[in-house]
Each structure stands twice: as structure tokens, then as C-alpha cells.
Chains A and B, each alone.
Chain A
Amino acid sequence: MVNRRQFLKLSGVAGAVLWNRRAFAFDQPDYTLTIASTSLEVAPRRFIKTTAYNQQSPGPLLRVKEGVPVTIDVANQSDNDEIVHWHGLFLPPESDGAMEEGTPHIPAGKSARYTFTPEPAGFRWYHTHTSAGSNLKKALYSGQHGCLWIEPRINPGRYDQEFFFALHDWEGTLVGSDDGSMSAVYNYSTVNGKVLGFGEPLRVKQGQRVLLHVVNTSATDPHWLACAGHQFRVVALDGNPVPNPRVVTMLHLSPAERITAEVEMNNPGVWVLGEVRKHVQATGMGIVVEYAGRSGKPVWQQPQTLEWDYLLFGAENTSEHSAEVKVNTVPLSFTSKFVGHGAMDRWMINGRSFPDTETVPLKLGQRYRLIFKNESKDDHPVHLHRHTFELRSMEGRTTRGILKDTVLVKAGSVSEVEFTANAPGLSLFHCHQQDHMDMGFMMLFRST
């Protein structure tokens, strides 16, 4: 007798199908997500009307096991077509959750079933993958995001507690910025949907080792996090273990980036874990860390600088590939086109905006080096679907061993990453800033 899960695993079935609820009435999913409008209390008596999963934001934490097939039903009770992207997973185009790759959208009032085998292990997340345009309540500006933990086959479990944090910005307004284009500013910034002091504190005990999984779900803004009285030992970036875990005083996450870090709870008290930049913490981004048996006003120690360097976590040996590995290079130039002080810039990759961008053909099994040349005045957190890539060069400094699916390419800089084309079909590549991807910063790779 083969059950559904075994069947899926054996057959390798993975996909997303629109379905009639009765058709699967006897086949219960592992998880159900309902997309609907809701009202979130982010601060005392401050409610935000948004669209979210299961009436909460972030949505429910999905815990799945590496290599074990999973079924997730998604009911779209919103007024808009929707789609759920499984960010950081190796999924086929039909279930990855991007219409540009071929995953079907979920019409308003309909449901879909996503079935897939979760890989790779580590901290992933899920979110809507729609366009917002000028509506700063839709798409990634909304509450449609949640954490996804793929339990590795072997988990050393070097921690006593683990917490998942989603950093988000709410109620955006487009305003003119110094560079002449428009960008979003926000009324509220939250950790797990609550402003500092409003949500439940992080309750810890002295001597514990706590594992934090942090994802920046903001539509547009990067975030810096510090924990007063404590340091972070970064063990994974974008869910992938780093070759060289290091202790740092603060974390930096661009939109869509994740960091997994250990914190030694060795300084009893009541502390603030919050945004380093004063004006962002003032809008709410932070959470109280409370040791057992301790009380009082949470203490914040204001850092005076912003410090972050991906390359700290790279392998010590950065030597090149052996001579046998042939790497094809794909140069990608990022530019913008001014379309008025009252409009968002148009974005281009190699001089063209999506959908007019070139679909770059890739050969399965071939190693490629993407050379990102950011010729614009904005930073870009660029994301490649269905793959992880290895950072190779950041602003002229070489590195090895850091595997990510999203990387920040700073304004005016050049970065290089490598990956092996091992996922047949279309793979979307885009800037994860909602306003940038909406304005053309997307392209496709086709692996055959």
C-alpha cells in the first residue's frame, strides 16, 4: 500500500493545481493557507487593514522535512488574483510560485494545491509574488509572508530555543527622494507584526543558546538589527550554513534576505533587540528580550555605526576552480530610466525592462558566473529563483563558500556570483524591491 506522501515522493510529482474543494475532500493537506483581508493590531489600538495568511502576519510557521513531500492548500479569499512563492526552494517552475515561470495564479475566490518535495534544508520563507504598482497596500507591502523551516535530515540541535522573526514595514507612502526618484517611507516597522514593547517578549533563561531565524519581509527597505548586551554568531545566510561562522554585533538584511544566528544568553536583564537606525526603531522595529526572573524597563544600547560584511563568513581559501571546471559568464547591467519626479523610475537589465528583457538560455549542468554591474544610484537585493548561488566577488574582493539566493548589489558596484544550472525550465531573476520589480527589474533564465 502506497500512501499519498510516498506516491508523491516516488513519482516526483510537484506542482500547483487549481482545485475544487470536494475533489480532495478525503486527502488532507499538511498545511492550509487562507488568503484574506484582515485587521492587524500592530500597536495598542493601531490597526492596519491588510491581506494576510490565516488572519495573521507573519503567516503560520510552516515546518517541513527535507526530502519529505508536502501538500499545502491555498484558498484565495481576497479580491485579487494571488500566488504563493516558496522562496529559496528548489522547485519546478509549475509550483515555484511565479507566474512568469509558469506557475498558475490563484484567481480570487479559488483555491490551489501546491505539492512539492522541500529542498534544500534550512530557513526559507513564503510570500505573495504579485505586482503592487502604485498601491502600497498590495503584494509585498501587504502581510502576505511567513517563515518556512525545512528541517535538515541531520540536525545537530546546538541550541536550547529557536525563534523566527519577520521584519516588516507597513503603511508606505511614495515620496520624492534625494536622487530625484520616488521611494517608500513607512509609518510602522515591526518584528512579527508588532511594534517594540507591544508583542510578547522573547523569554529566555541565563545560559541558554538561542537560535534566531530572521527574515526581512519588507517590500523595499533594508534593516539593521542589534541586541543590546549581546552578540550574534552568524551560522547561516539565506538558510545555507556559512563556511566561517563569525560573531558580529549587528545583522544587516536586505529585502528577502535571511540570517540564522546563535545568541548566547549570558547577560541577564531586560534588553531590546531592535533596529539600529533610530528613526526606524522609533517607528516600532524591535522586540523585548526578557530573562527569567528579571523585570524593568528594556535597555537599549545605541550603536554609532552600521557594520556588515558578507565576506566575513566566507571560506578562508578563496582559490579559483580547478582547470577542468568551465564557467560561462553572463554580464548583467542594472540601470534606471527617469520618467518624472512624480513617478517610479523604470528599471532595466542590460538596457531592457521586463517583459522585454532577454531570456538567457542556460545549458543544464553548466556552471555560470553572473556579473552584476549596478550602474544605478540605488542598491538592489537581487534574487534568483529555484537555485542557490555562491558569492565569488563583492566590490572587487573575492570569496568562496557563501551560498545564497538573494544578494545586495550596492549602487555603483560590481558583484559576481556563480551557480550551476540544474533546474530545468524557466527561472526568474529579479530585484526583490517590490517597486523595482514592478517597474521592469526582472528577467528569465531558461535551462535546457
Chain B
Amino acid sequence: MKIQRTLLYRVVCFAVLFMGALHARAQGNYEIQVYGSPTVEPKTTMVELHSNFTPEGSTKTDDKTYPTNHQLHETLEITQGINNWAEVGFYLFTSWQDGHGVQWVGDHIRPRVRVPDSWHWPVGVSLSTEVGYQRSQYSPDTWTWEIRPIVDKSIGRWYMAVNPALERTWHGPDTNQGVGFAPAAKVGYDFSSKVSGGFEYYGNFGRVWSFSALHDQQQQIFAVTDLNVSPKWELNFGVGLGSTASTDHVIIKAIVGRRFDWGKRSPVD
């Protein structure tokens, strides 16, 4: 645990030194997660609660969205395994904030496929696509689509994942902006069989081939820990810092997931 605290302290110092001036504006921090390539097993449902609180976010906006400061986002994610290489996820986004109470934000659906183990690829590879709606008070772009390639690899105690996601707005001010580039990445280290720690990076560079100016980009880095206490549970906690004017200053996130097996498994299955 001492190592983890040291790690966290270092990332906070790093971020404070290099962030520069921060003028955050709204962004969709409802599910803050770097995807790994494995999919949920068939006959299994994964239920996850994503809790993201913004202690320091935007206090005013110019796009008619609510400021993010002190918003608590609770997202329920339910993922059903289809077979040993496919799953479908459903999202219910909510937000709580002083003056607005608990609000429904939107819903997404996310089918995902992966390269089966039997293909013997040297890295885990998966492809996710996510479509959904969010209310204009929380995102000026109400209908969006995302395609997210996922590549990951575990080597000894190290884990690496990259998600170079591409986004497209179907309804909203960015409809004519074309495809946006929003990569995410993770580096983790296994301190023990149950405790891992590392960093997650989330970015939004704006349009592909024509990135936005730096202060309009979103750049975040999280210090995170994953607790592998049981195959049935997924626990991830982190503190994130935004390093551009368009990014929330500080976000605290937590993911609590539980797998449920459906039907009695026979020993001969």
C-alpha cells in the first residue's frame, strides 16, 4: 500500500506541475474505463456501477449544458456474454447535482467482439461499437456513435491496453465535424495477485486529421488501482487530473462490478 500511495503522490505532483491554466468545460465523464480485450463469458451477466464525482469542474458553460462542478455521475452498466467472443452492454447514465437533483442523462448500447484465444494472436484484440443518446443538458451532441479498437497484453506483472477510439456525432453541433479521435490507454502493475496499480489516460483530440488546439482538447490522466479480490468482482478506483483548459480539473472514479452466472453449471459442461 505504501508503494501505491507513493505512486499516487507522484502522479498528483506531476499533473500539478504540468497542467497549466485550467478552464474546464463539460465532458461526458459517465464511464471512465480503459477496456481490456476479454469479453464476458456466455451465460454470465456483468453488472457494474460507475461512480464519477467531479470535485473541481466547470462552473459555467457556453453550450447550454450544466456545469460539471460537483456533479456525481452514476452509470449502471449491464453486460451480457453471448458466446466466447461476443458480448452486449447496456448503459443507463444518471447525474446528481445541487440544484438539479437526480437526472436521467441517457442510454447507450455497446456490442463488442474479440479475437478468440484459439487464434493464438500475440496480443488481445477486441472491437467495440457504442451507440446512444444523452440529453442536451449534459452533452450538446445528443446522438453519438463510437467505434473502439482494443488491444491489450499482460507481460509478467505488467499490463498494457490501448483504445484508440473514433467518435461520430449523429445529432448535435458537432454533426458536421466528422470523426473525432478519443484515445485511451492504461499501464498497470501487479503488486500482488489481488492488488494492481497504474495509470489510465483519456484524451479527446478533436477531428481526425485536424486536431483541435491544445486548450480545446481533453487530456486526463488517472492514478488507479484494481483489486482482484474474487473472479466474481471487479473493483477499480482512481483519481484523475485534467491537463487542458477543456478538461475537468479533478475527477474521482469508482467501478464496482459483479458477475452473475445464469443457470446451474453442470460439472460436465
Contact = CB atoms under 8 A, between A and B. Distances in A.
B268 interface: yes
A340 B158 contact: yes
A340 to B, nearest CB: 4
17 contacts: A171-B118, A173-B117, A173-B118, A179-B231, A180-B193, A185-B117, A277-B268, A278-B269, A304-B268, A338-B192, A339-B156, A339-B157, A341-B154, A342-B156, A343-B154, A343-B155, A343-B156
Given A178-B231, A180-B228, A187-B118, A338 B190 contact: yes
Nearest to A302: B268
Contact of B155 (A171, A175, A180, A342): A342
A184 to B, nearest CB: 10
B118 A338 contact: no
A278 B268 contact: yes
A338 B193 CA distance: 6
A305 B268 contact: yes
A150 to B, nearest CB: 35
Contact of A340 (B38, B117, B118, B157): B157
Interface residues of B, number: 22
Contacts of B157: 339-343
A302 B269 CA distance: 10
A173 B269 CA distance: 20
B268 A276 contact: yes
A303 B196 CA distance: 41
A341 B194 CA distance: 10
Interface in A257-315: 276-279, 302-306
Nearest to A181: B193
A342 B269 CA distance: 27
B190 to A, nearest CB: 5
Contacts of B159: 341-342
Interface of A: 171, 173, 175-176, 178-180, 185, 187, 276-279, 302-306, 338-343
Contacts of A171: 118, 120
B34 to A, nearest CB: 15
Contacts of B155: 340, 342-343
A68 B154 CA distance: 52
B153 interface: yes
B101 interface: no
Contacts of A302: 268
A341 B268 CA distance: 27
Given A175-B117, A343-B155, 6 more contacts: A173-B120, A185-B118, A277-B269, A340-B158, A341-B190, A343-B154
Contacts of B194: 180
A340 B156 contact: yes
B267 interface: yes
Contact of B154 (A173, A185, A279, A340): A340
Contacts of B266: 304
A279 B268 CA distance: 8
Contacts of A277: 267-269
Nearest to B118: A187
Contacts of B117: 173, 175, 185
Contacts of B38: 176
A276 B267 CA distance: 10
A339 B190 CA distance: 8
A341 B158 CA distance: 8
A180 B38 CA distance: 14
Interface in B248-269: 266-269
Contacts of B154: 176, 340-343
A187 B153 CA distance: 21
Interface string B146-163: 000000011111110000
Interface in B8-53: 38
5 closest A-B pairs by CB: A342-B154, A340-B157, A178-B231, A340-B156, A338-B193
Contacts of A173: 117-118, 120
Contacts of A185: 117-118
A305 B231 CA distance: 24
A173 B118 CA distance: 7
Contacts of A306: 267-268
A344 B196 CA distance: 17
A137 B31 CA distance: 41
A175 B84 CA distance: 13
Contacts of A338: 190, 192-193
A65 to B, nearest CB: 41
Among A178, A185, A342, the most chain B Cβ lie within 10 Å of the Cβ of A342
A279 B192 CA distance: 32
Contacts of B269: 277-279
Nearest to B269: A278
A303 B268 CA distance: 8
